[in-house]
Structure formats: C-alpha cells, structure tokens
Structure 1
Amino acid sequence: METAVAMTQLTRSAGLSGFTALVSAYALDPLALAREARLPEQALSEPDLLVAASSIATLLDLAAERTGAEDFGLRLADKRRMSNMGPIALLASMQPTLRKMLAVICRYQSLNIGPLSLVVEEAGEVAILRGELDLSGRAVSRQVTELVFGGLCRYIQAVMETGWRPRAVMFRHLPPSGPTIHRELFRRVPEFGADFDGLVLARSDLDVSFDAHDPVLLSYLQAHIDQLLSGRARSMRDEVGEVISALLPTGHCRADTVAAHLGITRRTLHRRLAEEECRFRQLVEDKRATLIAAYLGGERKYHEIAELVGLNSASGLSHWLRRHPLPSPQPSQRCS
C-alpha cells in the first residue's frame, strides 16, 4: 500500500474540531490560545481553512501545558469522527474491506495534513499502520502524534465490530507521568519509547468486509478526489501564496522558510517565481494586503491585525498602510 506524499506544510483546520469545547472545559480562552500560537481565529470554526501545521502543533502544546493534561491531543482525538477527514471520509467509508479503506486514507491523507505520510506494511500475521510527520525542522510533539493516531484508531473502531482494538500501539515519545485516557481510547496501554509511531493490527483485520456500495457512485467519488489531489499541482505562485498566507501569522514568513516548507531551496523558489514573472517580496505584500483589508472590515484592533499579518505592532501596521494601497474587493491576480 502506498504512502501519501506530503506536498506542503499546510493542514486543514478540521484537525482542531472540538478544540474550543475541550479548552473551555478547563476554563481557558481558546481564542487567546489561538492568537498566542499565531493561528487565525477562524481555524477554530472553519474546518477547511488551510493553516501551518507547525502552528497547530504549537497550539496543542500550549493547550497541554495550560490545562495540565499530558494527553490533551488524545482527548481531542477521542472526539474524532470520520467526517473530520472531509470528502475522503465518504470515499473511505464506502470501501468493501478495511484494507481498501486504509489504502484510501493513506493515499489521500495529504489533502488533510500536508506533512503527514502514512503507510500500511504487512508482514506475517500483523499489519502496521505507520506514520511520519515532518514539521520542517520543528520537533514533533506527543500532542500531535497522539491526535493523529488516536483519531485513526477511532476511525477503525467505528467500522469494525464492537470491542475492536489494535494488537499494539507504538509511540516514540516517553510515557506520561500521570493518569491519562490511553487505555480507554486504544483499549490497551501503548508501548512508549518505541522505534516508530503507529498502530499494529492483526493482518486478518484487513480482510474484514463491509456492506457493499453502489460501484458507480464509488467510481464518481474516486474521480472527484483524484481531481482534488491533482489540483495540488498548481502554479508556483499559487503554491507559494498558500504557504505565505499560512505563515504570515507566525512571524516567520521568509523566503528560506517558505522554500523549506515546499521542499525546495531558496534559490529554486526565486527562480521558479521569476519564470512566472512574480517576485517573492511582492507576493508577500499582496497576501498581507488582502488579509489586512479583510480584517479591517471587522472589529479587530490594530495590534491584533498586526500580529495576524506578521507585523510587530499597531504602529507598524499604520506605517505599512501609509506605504501600501489596499486591494479592491476583487484584487488583481497579478503579483509583479
């Protein structure tokens, strides 16, 4: 079974589904945490917003620290439903066997979490659902890892017979120091300090069959999602612009950082943009202008807008506005 190749460092904000309710239960302000992690507030309510995966990791780490819940990511995973995967969920749920369902998830996972690659390895009597998460140099926290594999376990439990559990749950990170919900969610205690992150299944589980679905509808869905995946191969300007929009709130929107997120060198980034008659600095300012225009239409204060667009302060935003015209309601697509 194939891995899904991670195209960018972006992820759908659907991964934060349930975050607001969970944080609020600890009497914390979810919007304040989102701002601290330099995530747009809309990420907590709009599931299809593309944001930097590293910012989501920062948010989960902050939440775990402030709540004192070492298993915060797992508690968030406990609320997962297959619908959190968006269009992939319908295609995956219509597969005739667990093997084919996992193949769909592995193949199309990059549509949900760009830097996550999944693969199923079969050997002897077991099958291993293994994952690798590359956050472009940032250490992967236990919160992100447990959110991913806790969610995957919940998806499998939803389609298998009541009481199903993996043969083993493997995590590279060390065990928690206090009580957690690991046994409750996985129905067994994970092995910590392992060589990989993943779920170990009985190989026979892969052949469990599900109710048959309309093959014509299945074919239609397959073609639709293939089109979504191929749609990732857009122009370099579009790819770079997407990463810029995600990184501006983090304060780290530099050419070398954007290039690293796209898996290319800084020189290649500038060369490929030049081939499309586009300059990186101008593209940054165009994206910033679009965001500022949108934020000014709301009730945000200058210092809040400044943080969300990568400027240092309210005075920095005022200075920027004096030097840059804001886009019209339908801004031009030109960037040079």
Structure 2
Amino acid sequence: MDARATPGRLTVQGTVKVRNISAIPALLAEAGVDVAEPLANAGLEKGLFANSEQLLSYRAAGRLIQQCILATGYEDFGLRVGMRQSAAILGLAGYVGTNAPSVRQALETMIGSLKLSDTGGSASLVLERGYAALRWIVVEPDIPAVNQIDDIAIAVIFNILSELCGSQWRAAEVRLTRERPKNTALFVQFFNAPVRFETDVACVIFEEAWLDHEVQGRDPQLHDILSPLLAQALEENGASFKEKVCDILRTQLLNGPLTPDRTAATLGISVRTLSRRLADEDATFSELAQAIRFEIAQRMLRAGKSLSDIAGALGYSDPTAFIRAFKQFAGMTPARWRRSL
C-alpha cells in the first residue's frame, strides 16, 4: 500500500509564502552558491524570490532546502535560515503582534493568524508547572527535509520571543526533532540554552511569567490601526470549523487526552454544538481524533521512534494497544507501514 494514500488520512496541502524563507538567497551567496542552481534542481523557477508574497507548496520548499544542503554542505541549513528571520515574515499578523499590549496577546495573535502565511504548519502555546512551551509541528505528511523546516520555525519562534520580551529574556530549553548534528556549536551559540535533539515535538520552553510582560517597544496606536485590518483578513481567509478543530486536537494530543469536552471548552462552545457543527461538515469528533493520532504516529514512525515511545506519546496504554489501533486505521501494522516508506 502506498503510505501516502492511506485510508482516512487527513488531506493537508500546505503552502508557505516565499517571504518565510526569504533569507535563502543571501545565505547561498555567502556560501558561494548561485541560487539558480538549487532552484533548478528542485524544479522551481529562477525568479521565485522576486515575489515574497508568492505561495510555495511545503513539498517544493522541502525539496529546495534539500538542494541547498547539498549545495552548501550545511547540515544546519534550516537553523541558518531561521536565524535571519523575524516576526516581519508573518506580515500583518507580525506587525499587530509586535505592537500588542502583552507577550501573551502577541503570541495569541500570531498563532491565531499563522494560516495567513503558512498552512502547512501548526503552532501552539502549552502551559505547565510555571513554564510555557511554544510548539511547532508540520501537519502535512511526507514532506522532504521536514526536520530542517522545524529548525527554521523554531529559530524564528526564538527570534520572535526575543523581539517581544527584550534582551533580558532567556529560553529555559529548546527541543528539536532533527537528529543530533555532528557539530552543535551554532545551535548552542544561537539559542544560548540547553538544546535537546530527536524529540517528539519541536518547541521553545521559557518561564510562563514572561507572558504577562509588556511587549518591548510597542506602538499602541499602530496596534489599534492594524488590528481591524488583520481581523478582516482572517475573516476573508477563514478556515473551516473542521480545520480549527484539527488544529486544537494537534495541540492537545501531546498534552493530555482527546475528548469532546476538552475541545469544546477550548472553543467556548458546548459538546452538542461541537458535534452539530462537525456534522454540518460531514465529520465526527472521533473520526478527527483518530485521524490526528494517525497523522502524528506517521511522523513519529518516520523519525524512527520506538513503538513504546509512540504509544506513550499518543496516550495508548501500551504498544499492543497502539499496534491494534494503527492496524485498524491503516490496514497494516506500524512495522509494515514503516517498511512501505
């Protein structure tokens, strides 16, 4: 069976605006590489970076990053790209966020508006025991160089937090999904915090108290002017209710059980309303929850995680329960599915 055609898989075709990877040409130039070479090898047009608002599929972006790594020899290419980006790559959402009253409101604005510039990834803020974790996950399966894309996102998240909080802010820990690089010096130097590799989810962890700090250098008038424009853009670009539920489930999955009550509470609606609105889009909560579990399981299997680790992360009682659920959903065992890649 073709792993990309597994029954029941959520259909996600992510795109990203070129501005989100706009640092690539300068980085290649510094390495003595003509940007036209990796673009051509990735099957992309030479003038791609001339229009920063152009949409690029996640698959194409992954292919381009792969070619850039081959051309430069940089195993930390994703990190180098993300290091050069700031909140400005989020466009209008970035400008509204960086002028919000508090860091918490800024992050809520940016996370809630992410799909205006990036539909292939999902960000979420999780609070636990006095710490906040700003998480990132690529939601479309089978993306080339996906861990490098994670590196880009986490570096951008780190820069945004530094921008919002000011020079005194420090990360408590940074977690990356990629394999441990041969040389970790740039990672340690840039993040200036403990860095863990080969984790289930990429995230930046910091003290929760920072969320209540005022955004550094904010312009209240600019925030008031731009906020209505952002609200209008979100209304015109509105995601379906099912998509919103899926985003919530991805956030909740690795931080507790998936239940209708919990999801409905996050949305501020009743369980009955949740069920009715999903039914209006020919979906049920149980179907979406199972599809999200399978989506995350796929990624963890590709990353070489053990069945025990996956079962624990997804809330199954033991590996046997996970194998049984996976086989029911995919029509094959996890081991066979992994071999089919």
Give the Cα–Cα distance (whole angstroms) in 2 for the partners of residues 140 and 24 of structure 1. Answer: 21
Following the alignment from structure 2 to structure 1, what is the Cα–Cα distance between the partners of residues 55 and 81?
A: 19
Contact 2:25 2:35 in 1 (8 A): yes
- How many residues of Structure 1 are paired with residues of Structure 2 in the alignment? 229
1:23 equivalenced with 2:28 (yes/no): yes
1:128 aligns with 2:139: no
Corresponding residue of 1:118: 123
Instruction: State the Cα distance separating 1:142 from its structure 2 match.
Output: 2.3
Task: Find out whether 1:82 has 2:71 as its counterpart.
Answer: no
When residues 224 and 68 of structure 1 are mapped into structure 2, their CA distance, relative to the original with a 3 A threshold, is same
- Cα deviation 1:278-300 (Å, max 9, x = unaligned): xxxxxxxxxxxxxxxxxxxxxxx
Contact conserved, 2:63 with 2:144, CA < 8 A, in 1? no
Structure 1 stretches of 4+ with a deviation exceeding 6 A read: none
User: 1:1-80 maps to which residues of 2 (within 5 A)?
Assistant: 8-80=13-85
Shift of 1:171: 1.3
TM-score between both structures, scaled by the size of structure 2: 0.62
What whole-Å deviation, never above 9, does each CA across 1:86-123 have from its counterpart, x for those lacking one? 11121011111111111111101111111111110111
How far the C-alpha of 1:146 sits from its partner, in A, is: 0.6
Per the normalisation by structure 1, the TM-score is: 0.63
Given candidates 219, 222, 235, the residue that maps to 1:230 is 235
Cα distance, 1:126 vs structure 2 = 0.5
- Tell me if 1:137 matches 2:142: yes
Q: Structure 1 unaligned segments of length 5 or more: list them.
A: 1-5, 235-267, 269-336
Question: CA offset at residue 159 of structure 1?
Answer: 2.6
1:169-318 maps to which residues of 2 (within 5 A)? 169-210=174-215, 213-214=219-220, 217-232=222-237
Q: Confirm or deny: 8 A CA contact 2:172 2:194 kept in the other structure.
A: no
Determine which of 83, 106, 111 is the counterpart of 1:106.
Answer: 111
Query: After superposition, what is the alpha-carbon deviation per residue over 1:53-80, rounded to whole angstroms, capped at 9, x for unaligned?
Result: 2111111121112211111111111111
Partner secondary structure for residue 41 of structure 1 = coil
Percent identity (aligned): 17
Aligned equivalents of 1:121, 1:103: Cα separation in 2: 12
> Deviation digits for residues 261-313 of structure 1, max 9, x if unmatched?
xxxxxxx9xxxxxxxxxxxxxxxxxxxxxxxxxxxxxxxxxxxxxxxxxxxxx
CA RMSD of aligned residues (A): 2.3
Amino acid at match of 2:135: R
* Cα distance in 2 for residues equivalent to 1:196 and 1:151: 16
Kept after mapping to 2: 8 A contact 1:98/1:207 = yes
Secondary structure of the residue aligned to 1:181 is helix
SS state at 2:195 partner = coil
Native 8 Å contact 2:65 2:145 kept in 1: no
Give the C-alpha shift of residue 51 in structure 1: 1.2
Query: Could you tell me how far apart the structure 2 residues matched to 1:177 and 1:212 are?
Result: 40
For residues 113 and 165 of structure 2, the distance between their equivalents in structure 1, rounded to whole angstroms, comes to: 21
Assess, with a 3 A threshold, how the Cα gap between structure 1 residues 29 and 140 changes in structure 2: closer, same or farther.
Answer: closer
Contact 1:39 1:56 in 2 (8 A): no
Contact 1:175 1:193 in 2 (8 A): yes
Report which stretch shifted further, 218-227 or 92-101. 218-227
Larger Rg: 1
Give the structure 2 partner of residue 261 of structure 1: none
Cα contact 1:169–1:198 (8 A) shared by 2: yes
1:124 to partner: Cα distance: 1.5
Letter in 1 for 2:162: Q
Q: Structure 2: which 5+ residue stretches go unaligned?
A: 1-10, 240-281, 283-341
Q: Within 5 Å, which residues of 2 pair with 1:148-163?
A: 148-163=153-168
1:157, 1:212 → 2: CA distance?
14
